[in-house]
Structure 1
Amino acid sequence: MNKALAIAGAGIALLLVSVVAAQDGAPRDRWTAQEIATIASMQLKEAGPPPADPSNAYEAKPQAAALGRALFHDTRLSGNGKVACASCHDADRQFQDGRKVGQGVGTGKRRTMPVMGAAHAPFLFWDGRKDSLWSQALGPLEDPAEHGANRVMLVRTVAARYPGEYAQAFGPLPELGPLPAAASPVGSASERAAWEALPASTRTAVNRVFANMGKAIAAYERQVRHGESRFDRYAAATVARDGRGQEVLSPAEVRGLRLFLGPGQCATCHNGPLLTDHAFHNTGVPPAQAAQPDRGRAGAVAKLQQDEFNCLGPYSDAGEQDCGELRFLATNDAGQLAAFRTPGLRNVAERAPYMHAGQFSTLEEVLDHYRRSPAAVLGHSELAQAGEKHRERQPIRLSASDLQDLAAFLGTLTGPVVQPK
């Protein structure tokens, strides 16, 4: 009995010493100086506000954001009157839809990406075919699988439903004159013919209103952002050497973080406060359709350069000197074949399924893919494979329990979605 009491007493004493040490600033979890610097760089506060977009002079105007919010939720901006931006970017589903591929008027080919953090990205969509948030917002409106509308119909709707709101944000609507029911430079054959039949001045006026629709939607979307997660609290505690604060993560979650930074090599691409390098990578993800593999970034560069709504286009508010990303775009990089944009990992546990076409249903499947590192069906995977000499990576060697710990850590990245009131 005395021996048992002595052991119990020693345990209590050890616990008290641990608590006192934590209160005195001794960390519970030990990290190297380099690891602490990396963890600090991953805090959400390091992201700051979205960078200013010189191609959108209206992004900070409350009137533009108010109009953008209305447009974002308006189903009349679709061919069947049933699809809005919010149909796929659902606020109750992390501003995405939970489907493998987007479902609008028709069925898309890629997964819906969330809105949060999009204003930080230099290129938008999985393939980066748009270079601003406002230009990105325009694409789905005329896509036959998404909104399925046409440019003239969209502008006529704004002129009829939002003339006052438009004027408050952008000034009076331009003189549009008589417009056909349907016309667009990217529509059906009849819509393209109707577009070409319009006077050049009318086409320019329609394009200006259309571009401003995108700028209004972008002004609203910039206000939708991530809130802090448990990981952010852990990171702050780690930087402050606050052992008690580090208790916000479990031992399994901390092991997952160590794997994320180290053997898992996740932080190679998923780094910074939004857990993305905003770049494009081929990681051997199997195509949704094996017979027709998606070319990814390689198929988007020409579209971006030819887009009249890009940073250098006539409807941009930027000067040529402001468009460095577009001016110095790599156009013949073989590594871009079947490469897709690195998605941010904040709230990732709430955003199944995964990859550009929803190929994986769970995080565990995603992590197992990286552990297996299969060869790419199209192009060349950046992941190192066993026996391969690789300049930048090593084969990923993780156990089943390692994958569980990694998945546990990814769950700590979930925080609230902050929306404008």
Structure 2
Amino acid sequence: MRPGAHPVVGRSLLAVLGPALLALGLTACGARVHEWSLEEQSRLRALWIESLPPLPPDPSNAVADDPAAAALGHALFFEPRLSRDGRVSCASCHQPARHFTDGKPRGEGLGTARRHTPSIVGASYSPWQFWDGRRDSQWAQAIVPLEDPAEHGGDRSAYARLIAERYREPYEAIFGPLPPLEDRRRFPQHAGPVADSGAATAWRAMAAADRRAVTQVFVNIGKSLAAYERRIQPGAGRFDTYVAAVLAGDRQTARRTFDADEAAGLRLFIGPARCTDCHAGPRLTNDSFHNIGLPLRESGWDAAGKPRPLSIEELFDPGREAGVIEAIEDASNCLGPWSDAPPEACAELRFARVDGDPLVGAFKVPSLRNVAETAPYMHDGRFASLAELLQHYNTAPLAIAGHSDLTPLGLRDHELSQIEAFLRTIDGAVSADRSWLAPPAQR
């Protein structure tokens, strides 16, 4: 207080003005939270849903953008008879209400799958499918679970017969006549290159031309499913509303859309935490493969509650190292006999990296769209919450094989909470007509 000032008056002024000054300070601080440099705005624009480019074509699938094929694929996606026991459909694991995931650590069909169920939302933008990228198109991916004994567990002859009995008219309008499946001598009820010994034996006994005819129907099922899945794309959420406000200079809407912690988490996400090194672009993924140093799994338990030692495959999953070889050897790849693409359209496959330390234990970077609603996380569903996931990135343990691409974030607890708060804003309904998200009329 200056000499000569009255102490009572000074205290009175402080009592009166103090709260107002504090409020002004907080308001100014809150406003600064929503101030972004031009460089930061450029980074935000790159993540904005409005920056999503047009859907890339799939030259390996001639009906990828055919509305009739999409309609057939829609029906098949929700068709439980597309399984050995008539109870498992694609939607059993890829549930529309869960953003096309299932909320389980590992997929469950007729058995338990090796890996967590990834979302199909926006997957048509990716050149590689599955966590390890072992297929190079959505249609090639779609047919794998149909014959997997832990998933749909059926065989291609039975699936072709289902098409003939239930979907003949739409199928033949798109692909032409079905083979004469009513001839049981040529086309057994159950046949296919599958684990079931009876179906496998029947498959080997079929004439090569008849095997090709059935496989063509099987492939066309996959291409129809892919045509449907291409309609399932990410939509705008609260994060996108915030970015739009920032880019428009609309601070009022920005403050109304994000609180201080969410904005701080976003600043960490695009800045010091370097999350956008991998989670880049409007889908928040670069569609590449990385080893992030996941530790060995602990032993499991059997049905009786006794410890069950894990197999080598469960202890360590080679990921992309094995996946890329499988993709190259797969008959349904872009260069294979079932592809509609000319060889020059298959650059991703032709020039794929096939060896080297970076592939060992590497898995595909998932999209973060609706990440808060699609737990658990990682290829094996090991992390039940975003907090667990962020703690792993914060400590970044060394890889047990290969080389981890992570470096420890070293963030404080409140900073991790801020990133989690931001991640919860990357929500948004699927960008598709609502009719695509439910089964069509029963056949």
TM-score, length-scaled by structure 2: 0.86
Shift, 1:266, TM fit: 1.0
- The residue number in structure 2 matching 1:251 is 260
Gaps of 5+ in 1: 385-394
Report the residue type matching 2:90 in the other structure: C
Tell me if 1:58 matches 2:63.
yes
Give the secondary structure class of the aligned counterpart of 1:255.
Answer: helix
Tell me if 1:128 matches 2:137.
no
Asked if the contact 2:33/2:260 (under 8 Å) is kept, the reply is no
Report the residue type matching 1:92 in the other structure: A
Gaps of 5+ in 2: 1-11, 299-309, 436-443
- The residue number in structure 1 matching 2:202 is 194
Using the alignment, how far apart are the partners of 1:261 and 1:14 within structure 2? 26
* RMSD (CA atoms): 2.2
Shift, 1:408, TM fit: 0.2
- The residue number in structure 2 matching 1:387 is none
Shift, 1:160, TM fit: 1.2
Tell me if 1:403 matches 2:432.
no
- The residue number in structure 1 matching 2:171 is 166
Change (3 A) 1:160 1:274: same
- The residue number in structure 2 matching 1:232 is 240
- The residue number in structure 2 matching 1:313 is 336
Give the secondary structure class of the aligned counterpart of 1:100.
Answer: coil
Report the residue type matching 1:350 in the other structure: E
Residue of structure 2 aligned with 1:266, choices 254, 258, 275: 275
Using the alignment, how far apart are the partners of 1:81 and 1:155 within structure 2? 14
Structure of larger gyration radius: 2
Using the alignment, how far apart are the partners of 1:383 and 1:302 within structure 2? 25
- The residue number in structure 2 matching 1:281 is 290
Q: Percent identity?
A: 44
Asked if the contact 1:352/1:361 (under 8 Å) is kept, the reply is yes
Asked if the contact 2:69/2:224 (under 8 Å) is kept, the reply is yes
Tell me if 1:91 matches 2:100.
no
Shift, 1:378, TM fit: 2.5
Report the residue type matching 1:191 in the other structure: A
Deviation digits for residues 335-372 of structure 1, max 9, x if unmatched? 11110000000000001110011110100000000111
Change (3 A) 1:13 1:100: closer
Give the secondary structure class of the aligned counterpart of 1:418.
Answer: coil
Change (3 A) 1:354 1:175: same
- The residue number in structure 2 matching 1:380 is 403
Residue of structure 2 aligned with 1:40, choices 18, 23, 45: 45
Asked if the contact 2:33/2:264 (under 8 Å) is kept, the reply is no
Tell me if 1:221 matches 2:229.
yes
Using the alignment, how far apart are the partners of 1:210 and 1:150 within structure 2? 9
Asked if the contact 2:100/2:119 (under 8 Å) is kept, the reply is yes
Report the residue type matching 1:338 in the other structure: G
Asked if the contact 1:286/1:359 (under 8 Å) is kept, the reply is no
Using the alignment, how far apart are the partners of 1:111 and 1:287 within structure 2? 16
Asked if the contact 1:287/1:294 (under 8 Å) is kept, the reply is no
Shift, 1:193, TM fit: 2.5
Shift, 1:7, TM fit: 5.8
Change (3 A) 1:396 1:12: closer
- The residue number in structure 2 matching 1:206 is 214
Residue of structure 1 aligned with 2:387, choices 364, 372, 375: 364
Deviation digits for residues 283-313 of structure 1, max 9, x if unmatched? 0123446652111111112211111111111
TM-score, length-scaled by structure 1: 0.91
Using the alignment, how far apart are the partners of 2:233 and 2:84 within structure 1? 29
Tell me if 1:324 matches 2:347.
yes
Using the alignment, how far apart are the partners of 1:370 and 1:16 within structure 2? 33
Deviation digits for residues 251-277 of structure 1, max 9, x if unmatched? 100110111112212111001000001
Using the alignment, how far apart are the partners of 1:396 and 1:17 within structure 2? 29
Asked if the contact 1:94/1:417 (under 8 Å) is kept, the reply is yes
- The residue number in structure 2 matching 1:392 is none
Change (3 A) 1:398 1:76: same
Shift, 1:45, TM fit: 1.7
- The residue number in structure 2 matching 1:389 is none
Deviation digits for residues 43-82 of structure 1, max 9, x if unmatched? 1121133211111111111111111011111111111111
Report the residue type matching 2:202 in the other structure: A
Using the alignment, how far apart are the partners of 1:3 and 1:396 within structure 2? 43
Shift, 1:209, TM fit: 0.9
